[in-house]
Structure 1
Amino acid sequence: MPYIICYDITSNKTRKIIHDTLITQGEKVNLSVFELDLKECKLNSLIIKLNLLINPKTDTIKIYKIPTKTYLNTITIGTNPISTNYI
């Protein structure tokens, strides 16, 4: 299932660890935004890992589940074409 993960992390060290973790799981589409295509068990493991890394009082990670049909109809304009399937 495709997911969009974005984060707002206050600590540079934590931000780097989260970035490095996510880059191994998917594709970076912006400074703090990643596209990942994960099975549910892999996503659950990732959530546990990310939850242990952040400070819940100052940091935020959001995970958006993208329906496959919507994901396949993504239009990308610019230098980082993740998906160029047109409606």
Structure 2
Amino acid sequence: MANITIRCLDDEVKRRLRVRVAEYSMAMDEEALEILCPFLALPVAPKNLGQAMHMPFAKIRGEDLQPPARWPMRGCSELVRPRGRKRPVHFGRDRG
């Protein structure tokens, strides 16, 4: 098993670790492993929004849905107003 050295450890953190070691009658390295291993077993945070949205559903692995049928796109001529009309068309009463 590999060794690890932690430099610049805050005195308060070191004190709390020693108190915890004394409470459980463990070696300091054993207690550090007890703290680190469960934390490192947690899933890694997503790197972007897409991954964050995908993660809750990744285990479900739902059905692969087929895309819905689509109609052909309308051509530009259907969207452009006829050239001969100068005034806007009003519906309802005559605005003459």
Q: TM-score, normalising length from structure 2? A: 0.22
Higher alpha-carbon Rg:
2
Greater relative CO, 1 or 2 (CA 8 Å, sep 6+): 1
Q: Which of the two has greater helix per residue?
A: 2
